Chain A
Amino acid sequence: MSTAAAIHPLWLRLTHWSNALAVIILVFSGWRIYNASPIFNFKFPEGITLGGWLGGALLWHFAAMWLLVANGVVYLLFNLFSGRLKNRFFPLRVREVFGDLLAALKGRLAHEDPRHYNAVQKLAYLFVMLDTLVVILSGLVVWKSVQFPLLRELMGGFDNARIVHFFAMAALVAFFLVHIVMVALVPRTLLLMTRGR
Chain B
Amino acid sequence: MTESNPPAKLDRALLMKDAMRELSAPTRRLFLRRALSLGGLAMLSGCSISNDKSVDSFLKGVSRFNDRVQGWLFDPNRLAPTYPESMITRPFPFNAFYARSQAPRVDGDSYRLEVSGLVADKHSWTLPELHQLPQVDQVTRHICVEGWSAIGKWGGVRFSTFLQRIGADTSARYIGFKCSDDYYTSIDMATALHPQTLLTLSYDGQTLPREYGFPMKLRMPSKLGYKNPKHIAALFVTNTNPGGYWEHYGYNWFGGS
Interface pair A46/B26, CB less than 8 Å apart:
yes
Interface pair B31/A21, CB less than 8 Å apart:
no
Q: Mark B67-91, 1 if CB is under 8 A from A, else 0.
A: 0001001110010110000000000
Per the bound structure, the CA–CA distance linking A91 and B80 in Å amounts to: 44
Interface pair A50/B38, CB less than 8 Å apart:
yes
Given contacts A53-B26, A55-B249, A60-B59, contact A158 B149 (CB under 8 A): yes
Query: At the interface with chain A, which of B120-128, B138-146, B162-170, B201-209?
Result: B138-146
> Which of these, B35, B62, B73, B81, contacts A144 with CB under 8 Å?
B73
A interface SS class: helix
Interface pair A54/B34, CB less than 8 Å apart:
no
| Chain A: minimal CB distance from B87 (Å) | 11
Counting contact residues on chain B (CB < 8 A from A), the size range is 35 or more
Residues of B within 8 A of A51 (CB): 31, 34
Residues of A within 8 A of B27 (CB): 52-53
Per the bound structure, the CA–CA distance linking A24 and B44 in Å amounts to: 12
Q: Mark A96-132, 1 if CB is under 8 A from B, else 0.
A: 0000000000000000000000000000000000000
Interface pair B74/A56, CB less than 8 Å apart:
no
* Chain A residue at minimal CB-CB distance from B249: A55
Interface pair B256/A36, CB less than 8 Å apart:
no
Interface pair A52/B30, CB less than 8 Å apart:
yes
A residues adjacent to B (C-beta < 8 A): 17-18, 21, 24-25, 33-34, 36-37, 39, 46, 50-56, 58-60, 62-63, 66-67, 142-147, 149, 152, 158-159, 162
